[in-house]
Amino acid sequence: MLTDLTSAAIIILAFEAMLCLLIPLALTVGIAYLLVRTRQFLPPKLRLVRLQAQRVNDGVNRSGAKVTSSLASAEAKYAQTETMVRALLRQTRKDQS
């Protein structure tokens, strides 16, 4: 039925197909194994990461509050000065008329 060459070709193709299926299977099993093994170490580390992220966020909030408060006070002083200048200019215009 099949010649020796055809049989050898089918064996080679089956071997290649088996390798193409075994490599993703091995990678999937390896990743699953690593996830299971590292799960016991991750929760304490994740808590530390969350704590550090919270500290960074608090620092950013404090520095942002300092910057915005100084900008707000500068803007308030500018508005106050502008209002005083307008009031003085109105007074001088009223005095001239």
Q: Kindly report, residue by residue over 15-48, the tens digit of the pLDDT.
A: 999 988 999 999 999 999 988 887 777 777 788 8
How does pLDDT run across 61-74, given as a tens digit for each residue?
A: 999 888 888 888 88
pLDDT given at position 62: 93
92/62 same-domain check: yes
**Are 24 and 60 found together in one domain?**
no
Mean pLDDT, rounded, of the chain: 86
| Token digits of residue 75 | 């803007």
- The whole-angstrom separation of Cα 62 and Cα 68 is 10
Check whether residue 48 and residue 89 sit in a common domain. yes
Q: Is the pTM of this model over 0.85?
A: no
28 and 49, same structural domain? Answer: no
Q: Please, how many CA atoms are within 13 Å of residue 58, restricted to the half-sphere of its CB? A: 6
Give the domain extent around 14: 1-40
**Quick one: pLDDT at residue 1?**
65
